[in-house]
Structure 1
Amino acid sequence: MRKEIELFVDGKAVQIEEGSAIIQAAEKAGVTIPRFCYHERLGVAGNCRMCLVEVEKSPKMAASCAMPVAPGMRVLTDTPKIKQAREGVMEFLLANHPLDCPICDQGGECDLQDQSMRYGMDRGRFSENKRAVEDKDIGPLVRTTMTRCIHCTRCVRFINEVAGTAELGTSGRGNDMQIGTYVSRPLTSELSGNIIDLCPVGALTSKPYAFSARPWELKNTESIDVLDALGSNVRIDSRGEEVMRVIPRTNDEVNEEWISDKARFACDGLKRQRLTTPLVRVGDKFEPATWADALRLVAERLRAAQPERVRAVAGDLADAEAMVALKDLLNAAGCEDLRVDAMNSHAVPGFGVDVRANYAFNASIAGVEDADVVLLIGTNPRHEAPVLNARLRKPYLAGTAQFALVGRAADLTYDYEHIGETPAAIDALASGSHPFAETLRSAKRPLVIVGGAVGELGNSADVLAAVARLAESVPALVSDEWNGLSVLQYAAGRTAALDIGFVPSTAASVAPEFVYLLGADEVRPADIPANAFVVYQGHHGDAGAHLADVVLPGAAYTEKTATFVNTEGRAQLTRQAVGAPGAAREDWKIVRALSEAAGLTLPYDDVSALRARMADVCPTLVHIGELESTSAAVARLGLAQMRNSGSAAGVRPLDGAFVRAVDDYYMTDAISRASRTMARASASAAKALGRSASSSEESAKQATA
């Protein structure tokens, strides 16, 4: 850790780490220095000159974002000379600005507006014609009005440093300088929407949100994103009963201040293909029904089914309250066949549920920055958790971490050594026969990230047993100070499901005659017998609804206050921003009403009583915002169980290939598949990457129709 030094900002003594910039010292002293190009999470550019300050004994003013502090330095931030300099900078910036605030989507949230009012002059002296710049087409998500650009280069630095796709840059010099993609092509980063928040003017705005609303018209609701398992903190802006946009909230332990494009832009899918009334299949068609009739029919079929032939499947977006209620109901009915909506849903998840460390991201999301060797097994963080992938770039850019991959090769925005494509490569590392094994064993803070899809392989027990053998061969991987064996789940509801024990009691079961799909849209029709009675409870008419005999409309994550547990085991709450459409209801309330119709009334009538029950099932479910780690001793016990769960050596070889948890990043769940914006983004990404885009283009055409 660097030593602290003392300096003085406007006469205030400040203690700050050596090597910090003056602008950081001023913030610590509570002094505001205006800026356009500076951002604390990006590299220093020093090109807007708005942050000029005076330094004692210095003949010229200094850019406070680029000037490091020195012991005893005395800095002035509010003198007549500085005021004149700031007025001059604002005059230069506004000389070419189109001044189209009335039609600009940035209006009301614009740094240029705010700072021109605070630091600008009341008139300008330029009479020359304003420069104009041609707009760039950088895809279906970000709208450009480049005449407004002030060349702060925040977008360029973000795409190059954080996103890691190196697609934006500058061309030309002086008055002819422009920011663009060099060649005309859309951005391919899954984090591209963050440049909208970074842009201090209206040069980059949201294309789907364009001309839709003003910020003062919107109601703000703090919530979390559930379209991946990271649990990024977001703010939902709504007008009336419509979600207008989703933007990030800062949480340094989870998502910093970034969110993925899917989290930001898929919100238009909340308005399309919604289930708004109970439906009952009559012949080949669905007929609307009342809640009483629909629940009565479901209750009759549940009572008529043999308990061992009842199955429940929890979907990727299922919340903890609904899963606890459904588990209690079916357990009361004698059913033990509970599953998650996985690619291999006929098997027990290979991770097991006895030890939380076996299925959680134990290193923590923020902890990945401390890793010095990273091994990825059967995962593609860029598509499964883009914000986590950006975190992994930090030690890569700092040169403090080496990366390796076991599984399908992928563009991960950082260099890595490809160990092999099959699970057999894991045993090569565990036995020490691969050269990278020595690198892993000599690491001080090794990090092994296992993809959530690994637990869904047909031979998942054997693959995870090999992972356990590898973990036991790396001394520093699991210790009292550091647990680097981490599982990256890809579905928001998966960690809570495993916490609750939403898994079958035995690996084998008879074919079900009653199937309850709790938002399960990835379930394969082949896994459901043709004569089974199927109930689908969810918010979109997606794949699961088409298999159902009765459809019960639920609420989406923006329409309820519900608990989700992210991949590292941190419980967080979504909060209701808008009401559920039509007759849709919160999921746990539907299950509670069904329990009464079935004569198995659950012992809770309100959400506080339900959460008391959740605390009995798993106390971490109600510790909102807290991250509780598993002790090293318990983690090692879990490793031993994982190792012993595999087949005997040689019985089932570690062959076959890893499966992709995410085939099309922009369409992974019922909400994103209903989104027109995501359909266009999927087609654009396929075209930009040179893949066959026929299916994505067809999806985009259907969405536009």
Structure 2
Amino acid sequence: MPKLTIDGQEVEVPPGSTVLQACEAAGREIPVFCYHPRLNIAGNCRMCLVEVEKMPKPQASCALPAAEGMVVKTNTPAIHKARRGVLELLLINHPLDCPICDQGGECDLQDLTLFYGPDHSRFAENKRPVPDKYLGPLISTHMTRCIHCTRCIRFFTEVAGVEELGAVNRGEHMEITTWVEKALGSEISGNVIDLCPVGALNNKPGEYRFRTWELKKTESVDVLDAVGCNIRVDSRGSEVMRILPRLNEDVNEEWISDKTRFSCDGLKRRRLDVPMVKRDGRLQPAEWRDAFGAIRDRLQGVDGRKVAFVVGDLVDCETMVLVKELAARLGTPHVDCRQDGAALDASTRAGYLFNTTIAGIEQADVCLLIGTNPRWEAPIINARLRKRWRQGGFKVARIGAVHPLTYPVEDLGAGPDTLQALLAGDIAFAETLRRAKNPMVIVGQGALARPDGAAVLAAVCELADAFGMVRDDWNGFNVLHTAAARVGGLDLGLVPGEGGRDVAGILAGAESGEIEVVFLIGADEIDTKPLGKAFVIYQGHHGDRGAHAADVILPGAAYTEKNASYVNTEGRLQRASLAIFPPGEAKEDWKILRALSEVLGRTVPLDTLAQVRARMAEMAPVLATPDVVTKAAWGTFGRPGELGKAPFVSPITDFYLTNPISRASAVMEECSALFVRGGQLGATGTHG
């Protein structure tokens, strides 16, 4: 490991480090524009200049390898003069529009000019105007501000895998643009807004709507898919203004999907803010006591086995604790959190987790995708797979429908027959799996949410055993979920009890009259037509599909409006925090169920959030500690049986409209019309 002397302090850094990284290790702050730790080095802004002994002129520290015995100076008059000169040149064409720029207050150029820049300019020439570029409905451009750091180009090429942004012309005529004017076809394109060190790329839906210093910042987690990206919710008053990523190396690094970032306008549209009771065939506003009274009157004398609970995809763990407790007191075994009917076995935790972990993808050398399209189901996991592929020595194969991904994929076949052939060793890729050091398989809900899902799960379990995917130091079996509530629900045992019905059975029972009362707890992804004869209580935050079938509506809180726990696809418990209060008379979901239990005479004695979380830890000890992934014991799961002939199909047909929040978002609707129905999203990718 090379040792350097930086401003008189000796520091030792790993081999391959740059002088910039060595300076950071020594606690020296080096200003940068083009450098970013997750992107390839460009070395074109020259802001990170330092003096190195025995070198005749200042060096760009981001592109200079650290070597043994180097003596580096970062705080000399010559360096300050060089940085001042760099900024003077950068500001030649920069417009003086800080008062109207959305980056004002969090602009790198603004901050560095304050500390390192000149107090006047020696250039009197006219500034160069550059026309703004169209990049789609999510990113606005002000290209006169662009300083050509090329972070956006490198992000799309390296991380997003969609090579649609580049530089044209040379010298003072250089411009950043798309090759042909079109919207950027990536599910994670919004991250360039955070990467841009000036105000050239901005949040288009939120442009000119707020100032950064007006916003209250709340750390939370995303629930619009099962990755559990760490986010920061920025709110003003009673409205969420924007959502930004938070750094978490084990989950999302510092990226989030466009659905996470831009669907926040859906949090204020189509909201349920008052209880409602159906009278004379129409839902009408009511008081809480009236709504609870209507439920109590309907449940009077009803056998508990004629009551059922269906739990939706955005429900938090605290609410699910109350659901399980209330169901037990009502005497019903008909409880299910698997809205899509996925044949997941709750008895073996390893059978429904992403056991490799998201960060563990970087240790794998072979990956088999079964019935999943990670680019739409989990864009951040897809980005991690691409990152691993770019490191080299990583092969990916797929069984299922063909979707454009951002790395090379070998298509083995479309359905269960290919899976059986692979198990039998009749496909050449079987030998690749056998020779792999750390092979992994990712099975999606497209393979499990079908009539033969249990048999598919058993076959994939057999595959993992047959090809040595599970060892003491490695578990390559992974289930990729699409619902934020799914793993938490399975951990808490929200599956049918003895003699209980699953979602399909509940719907069939409601249609036949065997199930008389159905609680839909945020359940919006089921076919509500069979519920016509049943008395339906819907508890949720948006007037979506479930609310349309309801006889009583209990307005709940969205994920930004409560302190709640969610478990991501790898089994990591994370906390979401209250950023704003629920609208109108809406309440936190667990509190609604607690109050309802008392009205029904089946009181659940959990009065505080701390008590609910203590009970949650009793039900599932793995949920006692946040932000920890507990290794699950391996076993057998699924149910061996005959596999069907139908090909595996991803459950997501529209990336932008997968849940009530995004379906209520005008921004997501615009994206869906342009990218999905217009056929652009996912149609491109690069393997460069």
TM-score range, shorter chain: over 0.9
Structure 1 pair 503/520, CA: closer, same or farther in 2 (3 Å)? same
TM-score (norm 2): 0.96
Query: Which AA in structure 1 matches 2:483?
Result: A
Superposition map of 1:187-206 within 5 A: 187-206=184-203
The alignment status of 1:51 with 2:48, answered yes or no, reads yes
Alignment deviations for residues 417-456 of structure 1 (CA, whole Å, 9 cap, x no partner): 0011112211111111100001011100001011134322
Structure 1 pair 540/529, CA: closer, same or farther in 2 (3 Å)? closer
SS of residue paired to 1:552: strand
The separation in 2 between residues aligned to 1:249 and 1:282, in whole angstroms, is 46
Superposition map of 1:598-637 within 5 A: 598-630=600-632, 634-635=633-634, 637=635
Partner of 1:429 in structure 2? Answer: 422
8 Å Cα contact 1:512/1:529 also seen in 2: no
The separation in 1 between residues aligned to 2:81 and 2:609, in whole angstroms, is 59
8 Å Cα contact 1:447/1:484 also seen in 2: yes
Alignment deviations for residues 185-231 of structure 1 (CA, whole Å, 9 cap, x no partner): 00110101000000000000000110111111111100001001011
Query: Which AA in structure 1 matches 2:496?
Result: P
The runs of 5 or more residues in structure 1 that have no matched partner are 694-705
Alignment deviations for residues 483-523 of structure 1 (CA, whole Å, 9 cap, x no partner): 01011111100100111111112475544211100000001
8 Å Cα contact 1:322/1:588 also seen in 2: yes
Alignment deviations for residues 298-322 of structure 1 (CA, whole Å, 9 cap, x no partner): 1222343322221111101011111
Query: Which AA in structure 2 matches 1:641?
Result: F
The separation in 2 between residues aligned to 1:293 and 1:663, in whole angstroms, is 40
The alignment status of 1:103 with 2:105, answered yes or no, reads no
Percent identity between matched residues is 53
The separation in 1 between residues aligned to 2:40 and 2:441, in whole angstroms, is 29
Query: Which AA in structure 2 matches 1:621?
Result: L
Partner of 1:646 in structure 2? Answer: 640
RMSD after superposition? 1.5
Aligned length: 672
Structure 1 pair 666/582, CA: closer, same or farther in 2 (3 Å)? same
Q: In the alignment, which of 105, 127, 133 is matched to residue 130 of structure 1?
A: 127
Superposition map of 1:13-412 within 5 A: 13-344=10-341, 349-412=342-405
Query: Which AA in structure 1 matches 2:582?
Result: A
Query: Which AA in structure 2 matches 1:582?
Result: G
Query: Which AA in structure 2 matches 1:437?
Result: A
The separation in 2 between residues aligned to 1:212 and 1:5, in whole angstroms, is 50
What's the CA shift for 1:681? 1.2
Partner of 1:700 in structure 2? Answer: none
The alignment status of 1:504 with 2:496, answered yes or no, reads yes
Query: Which AA in structure 2 matches 1:524?
Result: D
Query: Which AA in structure 2 matches 1:278?
Result: P
Alignment deviations for residues 552-575 of structure 1 (CA, whole Å, 9 cap, x no partner): 000000000001000000000110
8 Å Cα contact 1:375/1:403 also seen in 2: yes
The separation in 2 between residues aligned to 1:666 and 1:499, in whole angstroms, is 28
The separation in 1 between residues aligned to 2:313 and 2:441, in whole angstroms, is 24
Partner of 1:677 in structure 2? Answer: 667
What's the CA shift for 1:654? 3.4
What's the CA shift for 1:9? 1.0
SS of residue paired to 1:316: coil
Partner of 1:663 in structure 2? Answer: 653
Alignment deviations for residues 153-211 of structure 1 (CA, whole Å, 9 cap, x no partner): 00000011001011111111111111111100001101010000000000000001101
The separation in 2 between residues aligned to 1:452 and 1:568, in whole angstroms, is 15
The separation in 1 between residues aligned to 2:36 and 2:9, in whole angstroms, is 24
What's the CA shift for 1:260? 0.7
Structure 1 pair 231/653, CA: closer, same or farther in 2 (3 Å)? closer
Query: Which AA in structure 2 matches 1:133?
Result: V
Query: Which AA in structure 1 matches 2:670?
Result: R
8 Å Cα contact 1:315/1:518 also seen in 2: yes
SS of residue paired to 2:631: coil
Q: In the alignment, which of 523, 526, 535 is matched to residue 526 of structure 2?
A: 523
What's the CA shift for 1:659? 3.1
8 Å Cα contact 1:353/1:498 also seen in 2: yes
What's the CA shift for 1:616? 0.9
The alignment status of 1:596 with 2:598, answered yes or no, reads yes
The separation in 2 between residues aligned to 1:442 and 1:613, in whole angstroms, is 46
The separation in 2 between residues aligned to 1:692 and 1:397, in whole angstroms, is 19
Partner of 2:679 in structure 1? Answer: 689
Partner of 1:702 in structure 2? Answer: none
Superposition map of 1:465-614 within 5 A: 465-475=458-468, 477-505=469-497, 506=499, 510=509, 511-526=514-529, 528-614=530-616
Query: Which AA in structure 2 matches 1:646?
Result: P
The separation in 2 between residues aligned to 1:455 and 1:295, in whole angstroms, is 37
SS of residue paired to 2:62: coil
The separation in 2 between residues aligned to 1:447 and 1:233, in whole angstroms, is 25
8 Å Cα contact 1:163/1:191 also seen in 2: yes
SS of residue paired to 2:205: coil
Structure 1 pair 335/665, CA: closer, same or farther in 2 (3 Å)? same
SS of residue paired to 1:382: helix
Structure 1 stretch 677-686 or stretch 111-120: which is displaced more? 677-686
Query: Which AA in structure 2 matches 1:502?
Result: L
Query: Which AA in structure 2 matches 1:677?
Result: V
Structure 1 stretch 39-48 or stretch 424-433: which is displaced more? 424-433
What's the CA shift for 1:692? 14
8 Å Cα contact 2:33/2:197 also seen in 1: yes
Alignment deviations for residues 286-343 of structure 1 (CA, whole Å, 9 cap, x no partner): 1111101101111222343322221111101011111110111011111011112523
What's the CA shift for 1:604? 1.1
The separation in 2 between residues aligned to 1:120 and 1:446, in whole angstroms, is 52
The runs of 5 or more residues in structure 2 that have no matched partner are 684-688
SS of residue paired to 1:358: helix
8 Å Cα contact 2:273/2:555 also seen in 1: yes
Alignment deviations for residues 67-112 of structure 1 (CA, whole Å, 9 cap, x no partner): 1011111111111111111111000110000120000000000000
SS of residue paired to 2:458: helix
Partner of 1:703 in structure 2? Answer: none
SS of residue paired to 1:536: strand
SS of residue paired to 1:383: helix
